[in-house]
Amino acid sequence: MNALTLQARAVQTTAFSPKLQHAVRLLQMSSLEFARCLHDEAQSNPFLEVEEAPDEHACEDIARAPDGRDDDSLWAAEYEGAMGRQNPAPSAGEDALDALQGLAVPVSLRDHLHAQLGTRRLTARERVCAQAVADAVDEDGYLRVSLEELAVVLGESGSQLRAELERALAHVQACDPCGVGARTVSECLCLQLAQAPASACRDLCIRLATEHLELLASRNLQRLSKAVGASLEETREAVQRIRRLNAHPGWQHGGEVAAAVTPDVTVRKHKGVWATKLNASALPRVQLNHLYAALADSDRASLNPQMAGCLEQARWTVSNVNQRLVTILQIARAIVSRQTLFLEYGPLAMKPLGLREIADEVGVHPSTVSRTVRNKYMATPWGMMELRRFFSRGMEHSTGRSSAPAALKELLSEMIGAESTQAPLSDAELTRLLAQQGFSIARRTVTKYRQGLGVDPVERRRSGW
């Protein structure tokens, strides 16, 4: 018969301790997430304190590694100097000006339209209809809902309401941005063209936008010129004018504000040597409240278990924060030592680099390097660079050497920038030119790189389009 039994066995398995899990979580955070996490932990843990601008002696204990060794004194000196160069906090008697107060608050398209309708002399009935139309405008600035559907929303019907909604639509289309409230792309373009002074070119543009929109999208200038019965030069001028119009007027309002990227490390050349330093403004410093910790340690017997857990968590946080900063700096220095040509000459001199190569030099696992370079940025003479962009596989050259994909993209960008506007280079021609320089890559790879650079296909790069 089957029976249930209990057995005790010793098995070795890989498991992350809570402290290690906390360290890994802090390591892969971006600078903004890291600062927010420290502030949240400081608010919920009485044993933690976060300082934005520590004094000149604030980094003496942070240089110590989690195991107590003080083997990175050079890093400690650089960190201390960087933190000491921060702007001092304003005194109590001074008025501190918040920089965020000078930033413009984004206004949605709906609020922008409602504000303009509020300045018009409309009756209560007209205002309700106009606001209903404005609410139905999508984020692109188009009215993709029919007036009959709007009438159903208002709970009425009839020809009178239809006429009222037509007038309301006219009020919305008269608002800024020009072209808002259009029901089609053609109507959007015509609304913008109607604001221009009368001319033969404007009439030709309106005709192209209303009668030949599909042919206009095909980018065939010869057929378009024959269809409207105009000369090639007149048609090209009209097409250029239409291209300057905004087919998405709603995009001017309500878009998400791009978050500013703060570099975690900076690289500058000092006396012929590239120096890598931590960015003090991106490094809020967390420390243990020694007074509270001493009181808790002096009376361990009567210490509340929850407070004991907070004290242990606080010590973990301080240790893991220090280790995070040391790891970022060591990996950044290792990257800079191998990408010196990039710092000197730009993306064209980027070298292939693997995670294991950096991991072996720093003395960590490649997965640690992968977590460290995620969402971390370096300020270089060539702009802001995410650390993981320095890592790539090499593309073989006919000479036996290898180049990074970033270098090939830069070379491809230079080729396209030097091409003739009358006869731009196709992807196949770019592939042949790269092959002549020793790079044997597929045409689809060239297409992928071109798309990554945001360059249009050859048909759209021809002169006149």
- Over the stretch 197-240, which tens digit does the pLDDT of each residue have? 889 999 999 998 898 888 887 777 888 888 888 888 888 888 88
Asked whether 42 and 50 are in contact (CB, 8 A), the reply is yes
Q: Is 387 helix (H, G, I), strand (E, B) or coil?
A: helix
Report whether the peptide linkage leading into residue 177 is cis, meaning its omega lies within 30 degrees of zero: yes
Could you please report the per-residue DSSP string of 282-326?
Answer: G--EEEE-HHHHHHHHHT-TT--HHHHHHHHHHHHHHHHHHHHHH
Tokens of 314: 């606080």
Q: Sorting pLDDT into bands at 50, 70 and 90, what band is 255?
A: low
CA 384 to chain centre: 11
Q: What is the per-residue pLDDT across 292-345, written as a single tens digit (0 to 9) for each?
A: 888 877 776 667 778 888 888 888 888 888 888 899 999 999 999 999 988 998
Residue 54: closest CA among 3, 21, 26, 89: 89
Q: Sorting pLDDT into bands at 50, 70 and 90, what band is 188?
A: very high
Compute the distance between CA of residue 364 and CA of residue 359 in angstroms, rounded to an integer.
Answer: 5
- Reply yes or no on whether the pLDDT at 88 is more than 60: no
Compute the distance between CA of residue 434 and CA of residue 454 in angstroms, rounded to an integer.
Answer: 19
Q: What is the per-residue pLDDT across 417-438, written as a single tens digit (0 to 9) for each?
A: 888 877 888 888 888 888 888 7
More confident residue, 98 or 419: 419
Asked whether 426 and 455 are in contact (CB, 8 A), the reply is no
Q: What is the per-residue pLDDT across 352-399, written as a single tens digit (0 to 9) for each?
A: 889 999 999 999 999 999 989 988 999 999 888 899 889 887 776 666
Which contacts (CB < 8 Å, 24+ apart) does range 31-34 have? Answer: 31/262, 31/264, 31/282, 31/283, 31/375, 31/376, 31/377, 32/259, 32/262, 33/375, 34/284, 34/324
Q: Per-residue pLDDT averaged across 276-295, rounded? A: 82
Compute the distance between CA of residue 321 and CA of residue 35 in angstroms, rounded to an integer.
Answer: 11
Q: Per-residue pLDDT averaged across 137-158, rounded? A: 85
Q: What value does the mean pLDDT of the chain take?
A: 80
pLDDT value, residue 15: 59
Tell me the whole-structure pTM to 2 decimals: 0.58
Asked whether 117 and 124 are in contact (CB, 8 A), the reply is no
